[in-house]
């Protein structure tokens, strides 16, 4: 999960670099198409070709649609929001995953867990600053939509992982993202020629996207969603570093305060999960 967060943070920096120059749906298509050859080679050399067709198609299609919604909203938000501020809002995703895991997968959360989830939502309001002085904008709301799609997709991985291989989940996620986004971009005539200076960025997008997708899929397959989701919070460190290096920006005190509330809530959920696990298996 830590490897996935690091890879996706670097991928997001590539997406933010591309976002002022291309339509969001084209960037989503480029994200999928750039990683698809690497993922295909991995599946071939790992002997996973036979497992690609033995899958639960409805859930894979659901993840493909969610990927389009999640990535297009995220890219739209990156046009105007710094990485650190975007991540601060996206941190609601682990709390949503924990809540959905309790409601859908019947994973144990308890009343203390629900209190932590509510406090996390309060932290989100601090970051949004709904008085009008903050990021309660279309970009801010787009991040929340993206986080919701991510949470639903993570729960789907927990369900699919009971029967399908990691190779099939990663391959079909990337393939469906590529096909759906490319079809929509061409249908809406939202495609601009690739600038020569952006090919290195696309190469970075390919490597980080493929690595991050493999790592996060395997993470959610191996462990309870509520246990590993809080590790998403390490993205804030990456966001601050990348914002400072590439865009010379730093988050303000209010954003960091709201992020801190969300992170503390998530870490408390992680502690509760450990307590429950130790009680069940001393």
pLDDT at res. 282: 65
Q: How many CB atoms lie within 10 A of CB 76?
A: 22
Rounded to an integer, the average pLDDT of 39-49 is 82
Domain extent for 228: 2-280
Instruction: Share the mean pLDDT of the chain.
Output: 86
pLDDT at res. 279: 63
Contact present, 187 and 29 (Cβ < 8 Å): no
Q: Of all residues in the chain, what percent are helix, strand and coil, respectively (each to 5)?
A: 80, 0, 20
The percentage of the chain sitting over the pLDDT mark of 70, rounded to a whole number, equals: 93
> Above 90 in pLDDT, residue 138?
no
> Above 50 in pLDDT, residue 239?
yes
pLDDT at res. 74: 93
Closest listed residue to residue 55, CA positions, set 216, 163, 175, 177: 163
Our measurement of the distance from residue 253's CA atom to the centroid of its chain's CA atoms, rounded to an integer in Å, reads 24
The percentage of the chain sitting over the pLDDT mark of 90, rounded to a whole number, equals: 36
Number of structural domains found in the chain: 1
> Above 60 in pLDDT, residue 132?
no
Show the tokens assigned to 35: 């990683």
pTM for the whole structure: 0.83
Rounded to an integer, the average pLDDT of 181-188 is 91
pLDDT class of 123 with cuts at 50, 70, 90: confident
Rounded to an integer, the average pLDDT of 57-70 is 92
- Choice between 27 and 217, residue whose per-residue pLDDT is larger: 27
pLDDT at res. 135: 47
The Cα angle at residue 279 between residues 278 and 282, in degrees rounded to 5: 55
pLDDT at res. 69: 94
> Above 80 in pLDDT, residue 63?
yes
Report the C-alpha gap between 200 and 12 in whole angstroms.
15
Least confident of 24-28, 125-129, 222-226, 238-242: 222-226
pLDDT class of 275 with cuts at 50, 70, 90: low
pLDDT class of 146 with cuts at 50, 70, 90: very high
pLDDT class of 276 with cuts at 50, 70, 90: low
């Amino acid at each position: 999960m830590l490897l996935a967060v690091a890879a996706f943070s670097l991928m997001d920096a590539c997406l933010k670099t591309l976002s002022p120059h291309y339509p969001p749906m084209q960037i989503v298509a480029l994200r999928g198409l750039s990683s698809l050859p690497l993922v295909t080679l991995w599946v071939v050399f790992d002997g996973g070709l036979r497992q690609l067709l033995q899958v639960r198609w409805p859930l894979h299609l659901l993840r493909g649609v969610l990927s389009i919604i999640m990535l297009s909203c995220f890219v739209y938000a990156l046009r105007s929001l710094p990485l650190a501020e975007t991540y601060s809002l996206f941190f609601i995703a682990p709390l949503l995953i924990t809540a959905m895991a309790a409601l859908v997968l019947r994973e144990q959360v308890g009343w203390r867990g629900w209190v932590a989830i509510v406090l996390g939502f309060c932290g989100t309001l601090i970051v949004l600053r709904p008085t009008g002085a903050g990021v309660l904008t279309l970009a801010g709301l787009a991040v929340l939509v993206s986080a919701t799609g991510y949470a639903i997709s993570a729960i789907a991985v927990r369900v699919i992982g009971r029967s399908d291989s990691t190779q099939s989940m990663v391959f079909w996620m990337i393939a469906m993202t590529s096909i759906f986004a490319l079809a929509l971009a061409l249908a809406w005539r939202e495609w601009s020629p690739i600038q020569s200076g952006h090919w290195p960025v696309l190469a970075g997008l390919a490597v980080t996207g493929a690595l991050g997708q493999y790592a996060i899929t395997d993470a959610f397959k191996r462990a309870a969603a509520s246990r590993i989701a809080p590790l998403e919070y390490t993205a804030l460190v990456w966001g601050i570093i990348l914002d400072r290096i590439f865009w010379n920006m730093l988050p303000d005190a209010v954003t960091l305060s709201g992020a801190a509330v969300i992170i503390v809530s998530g870490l408390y959920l992680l502690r509760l999960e450990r307590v429950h696990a130790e009680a069940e298996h001393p």
